[in-house]
Structure 1
């Protein structure tokens, strides 16, 4: 009978089986009916299971012989399994009782205790193999431990120099990795592997309840990155461009060399692009022992550490290697099989991974959530000795939701921090900010790192042509409200564009979409064969670019047919920003479109009321701006009175500024003038109280120098009011007084 082994690979397989069993018992397995397993709980921490070895192999993704070994170790080594079979020899049927450390439904606690119990028992058994064939407490063991420690001491300066700092985008000097590193979260199941319909994706994005769906929303549980590395001896870390894959690997290397993670291993950081560039023979062993680190560690020591499984090898950037014949991938897989006792991590862009590593577990780096964004910002500005800016940065993100959407990408979040660091505010014209982010994703990020990608026919397009291609995809899908689409849905737009460039290559739409995702991350496969833009912000931006670059009145008129649709709001703002001083025609069509919606006696009377109430009021705000604010205030006040809901002030005061902001984006504005407007607005109404005054300041800042667009602003608000006029019992507009603060007796709007 072969000797039982207790090394890291064996432990990982036993844990994998135990985790699969706990997932099944806790009803976490999809389509569980297909497994022939009977189970029932006897005690909170005890369950009996009846099944067959092949079923357990399918459930756990292990081989049958690995399942047998894992069950034996759960019985003989972990001592949590009791074999209840009468006939054991040669039987593939299993009947056993699991008695765990914690209640059955506490899966994570049980798995954590399994790890601790395994290591404790392995250390307590002087005769067992610690790492596949090596006994503890022997002279050889002591020698290996000394070699590891010496190697760690020798390589520390190299790891700290290679991984300790980073410099990206427009940084004028490097920054310490640990100063800004924000813990990443891992999705153990890639989003693109799901089989979901577009309707299910829309429902998950919240489109039924919001005009601005969250395209990036995922329901998969998140796992801390280091935990994933700890649990899997061979890990493939996938991620979108700019997701922080390299930074994550550098953090792992630093944690290891500082004794905070895998302190009994020696970390090696390998840039695969450098390996392929400097090693024509694709001999990874030779590269490690003769080129990468022999100046720090003797090559014979490296070889011995490899054989003993004492290395933590971090391979960065598989997607950055030009590997059409999969030679490098095959070399990596062969190497990791030969030296299987070591721990390996490989990073790759999610859409660029074509080769499947059989013994690796695939995980995906999740987008940053709100907590991670705030943590990163606090660390960034603290590292720049300007911690006070962090709160302002977070506050500005909350105000600018489209900008916050792109902040979920660490690379674009870095761009936002750099911009805010210099100006203390985001650009008033958001189109400029998005354009800079696009240039980074389209080629600057690869160019600054010397990365070349070979994916024809997309590779031969210039930066402008790539933008134009994305415009051709974005506009028709946004106009149809189709945020999620299949390759065949955009096939005709892509082919037509390539034909316009006189490119005669066979165009395969899916490969084009995959290339865009792999190289730039601007498109993402959300589920199997279903794509969307990575952020709704960029879908809106490319739609606005199409409208602006078309340069004709027809498309502007078509745009203005959507003036009452909230989902088009950001497009209006972006078009105005892109047109800059040429936005007059857009504003004219917007006004005409709005006027066509309000040609009713009630709404005309409403506007006359607003004019009467604001005529002669103090301040230099334009009369039409005052009318718009009066309507907004009256509506908010009435809503608060009717529903006792003072938070309505915030909602109804924020909404009216948005159309004005479109003109402001085109014209630019003055901060001094804005503050003066704020004070004028506060005096314009007797109800300028604790609620109205700060809101007036916010409105004025957004509305500074907005000129004629305020007419459209007033009309647009009138449209929304028309849908909710309060009528009296005779069906006429109510003449109730609106309750103002501090005992104001001002007569309210007679139509609210």
Structure 2
């Protein structure tokens, strides 16, 4: 029989406090969520004292943590666990020995080397890998986004930094080593920007785990989610069966099931963002089912930041942060020692020269961009070859491509075939840009050899005019040879499987796509581009184009017009936007404490999400609000605080059923206790007091309360809604259908993308255009 009360272990308290911190609540907020009249049980929970079993589980549910992972085991249970561990360790099963033997060599082969985009040979991971740092404060989380971004970088002077001083550099307290976080939590989602080192991190985890240096009791299995998704789409293959296939069926179904059930496997799922949007929900469902079935295993998932909307229960989200100054130094030193194959002394000298030049004011932008492994490796190659750096991210990609297209031949001294060597650098970039753009527009990251040959032939037929080539038809027939030349000479197109190609990195495909759009800006390419403003995979294209255009004003204006069109043909959405404006105008801005001139726009963004149904994924999202005015959260006007409290109370009431009414009744009383916000309005205070008084006494028995809510709950909720509408002008039932909910989400995401593009184009767009666009957000444009 289970104990009537439970208490958290010391480790459990630490996990619970971190979850509580991520929520941004007070203990009163948590008490309200759980349905407690006082916060005493909350205090006892965080103090490690026993609390009622039901209350313990409700607190865990509110904090999104697994209660079984934080419960303090009693002494008898601990002794039994110790004995079990002794038996398991002393007598390891045959299937565990077998799978470890099968996977050790496979893991080393699969994960033991890294390929840099600009290096012709694989490198041993141990020679070049630098452990990443992660933060549990995800920058995109509500209300914490601005604060968590303000202190990412340590204030160190790299020009005065010596390699011998590295051991004295400390990682910021808000950050943790990637390896530490892998040990700390059994289920993790690792988010990161493109090229931030997500895949290399999983490779390193797999290698060190297989060698017994990290999570020695676990058996690592690394899975590419994109490859699995392709199998799933064609064969409807389960994740379990795919793992069996990856192991070459060297262990059978029962053996794999047994070791998964025993929780001895570390499952590494790489690249959730690379799964096609059309089947992403299916893949997420499959992963959830797998993690629920084999809940004892450890899991790490990687995903590009804001790329996917997902819901993985009991997973801790962490975000890869920029390389610290010390990590940059370590990476640079290892790069010159390993890639450039220089001596220890020469590598040290080159690294210090690199760092000193990186600190020069003219290289400030490069310094900001060389904080991911991908961009830093390109910068190292550029420095090694030219001793200088470009100033922007798009310029890094441009010079990186030019370096690949020129230096590849020269460094290897290879004489190329007659067909391809007459291609100028511009020809090569234009051809690759067209290929990239066509496939990206078709949402294709992998493409067939035959189709790519046709694209090359089309380019030659339309564009090739060199006088050195007399027989153009011969070039068309030899498009296969040109494809092979691009692959062999530059490594930009890589054959992933027989007859299947891709760009060596998605970043290059995105850059080349953006370049093709910019090159054809006079051919309505921007008009075509803005049609994809609601497609998540095009986000990076918009950001690059905004940065690369000589003047981004036209693009920004077209984006704003396209955003307005999203809701232009829907009267209900137009009414909703008009309500947002009317509601925002009720807020007094004359006494605002904000220092920005976008205060009104930030208020409209606030009401845009607070007017949505509570079940909408964007309900209460304040990312754009904080983006526009980071001071608003700390200085929320009384009326906005009151509206936020009422929408919270209404959301609680909608979630109540007769069976849980006895648990939520206290929460309703607390949620409607708003005297502190209505001190100057006795009438509204009395109205809410009267509504609270209509709720039954909390001392009534459970059956009586259940019957009351069954008979009167719907009427009471409608009364609350009526008060909100009549007295506070909030809480309208807009009755959005699924299509309208999707349009609202597209509108919001497009506004966020437009703000990001405005930031990227700050140096190549007019101040008036930027200000005008920001001030017109969340307004109906007739």
Structure 1 length-normalised TM: 0.49
The structure having more radius of gyration, on CA atoms, is: 1
Instruction: Report 1 or 2 for greater relative contact order, CA contacts < 8 Å, sequence distance ≥ 6.
Output: 2
Structure 2 length-normalised TM: 0.47
